[in-house]
Amino acid sequence: MNQYLSPIAASLPPSGIRRFFDLASTMKNVISLGVGEPDFVTPWTVRESGIFSLEQGQTMYTSNSGLIELRQALSWNMGKKLGLEYNPKNEILVTVGASEAVDLAMRALLGPGDAALIPDPAYVSYGPCAALAGAEVHYVPTRAEEDFRLRVEDLERAYTPNTKVLVLSYPNNPTGAIMTWEDYQPIAKFVQDHDLIVLADEIYSDLTYSGNHTAFASLPNMRNRTLHINGFSKSYAMTGWRIGYVAGHPDIIQAMTRIHQYTMLCAPITAQVAALEALRSAEQSMQDMVATYDRRRRLMVHGFRKIGLSCFEPLGAFYTFPSIKATGLTSEEFAEELLREEKVAVVPGNAFGPSGEGHIRCSYAYSTEQIQEALNRMERFVSKRIK
């Protein structure tokens, strides 16, 4: 039936993770470091508020933009944590996960003939969402020796006159790289000079381990050029609730809200109620989770370096991105042989773009016991291959 597919849908490549997922799913006793979600369950106070809202019969649609109480709380929270000011009435849209916000932003901003710049490696959905909007995608390489920070020279090289959108996703999945206020200065100038809109996916903003997160929208003159995309999945361990948000200039938010209203109508009310409770009372739970991630992060980086895999220090998200070049294997060979031989699942770096080749993504959203066991197995595996 392929002849019935639209050309865009037919040309969308399957996610690079898919093939590997199918392989890993068939095996038993696998220790996986391959998961991009917290190992914690949503804090009880948050779950309980969702349950209570159902008992109360809160099962209706909300306004397209989301519950006003939630948008007010989001506005306050972004102000307090990131120094961003958004009007809850017309500058914030509650979405079905940050993923929907990415899709809406691409569709609201891009069309055939336009181009988007996307850092490489990066989360898998930016390119396909831009392509679904009909736009061209230009990937901008980042490198381990520069701690996977985005450099303006590479942006200039990838820029074409039809470029309209720049995607920034820091802290970064898969590398764990962050961008500081200083790192962002030349990027902001580049954005201004070329009159771009920035899609800043900062879903990991609460998970940083060295000082406070810098929101790109907080840089001078960047607020109106930036869509700040965020959500509850990573910070509050709420992946399955599918609840996120986007904040930005009212004109763009309004256009996104129109698309949202025709496609999604509104985010699920139970998730919205729970998200509100998360903002009100789960800050301490979240800080405890961040402290736990930080310990595991150190354990994992230390472990990789000890077994001879060079690993830059990731300062955000919950991933390490060690280089496996010393083994002489490609990312896919490494991941596949490791899975078959030692039953450890990691994600090959090239699943996130060509610049990820030579690396593997290992999540530390696992208990220290699991991480230690995986490191032991990997040590056995690597020692046979590094001379």
Rule CB under 8 A: say whether 304 interacts with another protein. no
Bridge partners of 136? 115
The CA distance from 343 to 378, in Å, is 10
Which span sits near another protein by CB under 8 A: 3-11, 265-273, 294-302, 376-384?
A: 294-302
Residue labelled with tokens 């972004």? 78
Tokens encoding 128: 């396909």
End-to-end CA distance of the chain: 51
Q: Which of 185, 141, 138 is nearest to 164 (CA)?
A: 138
Residues belonging to the chain:
387
- Closer residue to another protein, CB minimum distance, 86 or 236: 236
Q: Which of 89, 143, 157, 302 binds another protein (CB under 8 A)?
A: 302
Cβ closer to another protein: 109 or 362?
362
Single out the residue of 71, 149, 296, 359 in contact with another protein (rule: CB under 8 A): 296
Stretch of 30-38, 52-60, 82-90, 322-330 lying at the interface with another protein (CB under 8 A): 30-38
Kindly indicate which of the ranges 132-140, 213-221, 222-230, 343-351 contains the residues binding another protein, using the contact rule CB under 8 A: 343-351
Per-residue binding string, another protein, 145-174, x by CB under 8 A, is: ----------------------------x-
C-beta neighbour count of 198 within 10 angstroms: 23
CA distance 24 to 344: 9
The pair of structure tokens assigned to 42 is 């949503």
Q: Does 295 bind another protein (CB under 8 A)?
A: yes
Least gap, CB of 281 to another protein (angstroms) = 18
User: Which C-beta is closer to another protein: that of 279 or that of 375?
Assistant: 375
Binds another protein by CB under 8 A, chosen from 131, 133, 266, 347: 347
Give the nearer residue to another protein in terms of CB position, either 32 or 65. Answer: 32
Binders of another protein among 112-141, rule CB under 8 A?
123-125
Strand partners, 117: 138, 166
Kindly report the backbone phi and psi dihedral angles of residue 246, in degrees, each rounded to the nearest multiple of 5, phi listed first. -140, 145
368 near another protein, rule: CB under 8 A: yes
**62 dihedral zone (left: phi>0; alpha: psi -120 to 50; beta):** beta
**Nearer of residues 19 and 194 to another protein, judged by Cβ:** 19
Q: Report the alpha-carbon distance of residue 53 to residue 56 in Å, rounded.
A: 5
Dist. CA 211–CA 252, nearest whole Å: 31
Residue of 20, 126, 159, 293 that binds another protein (CB under 8 A): 20
CA dihedral 73, 268, 244, 221 (to 10 degrees): -60
Binding site residues, another protein, CB under 8 A: 15, 17, 20-21, 24-25, 30, 32, 34-37, 39, 41, 123-125, 173, 291, 295-296, 298-299, 302, 345, 347, 351, 368
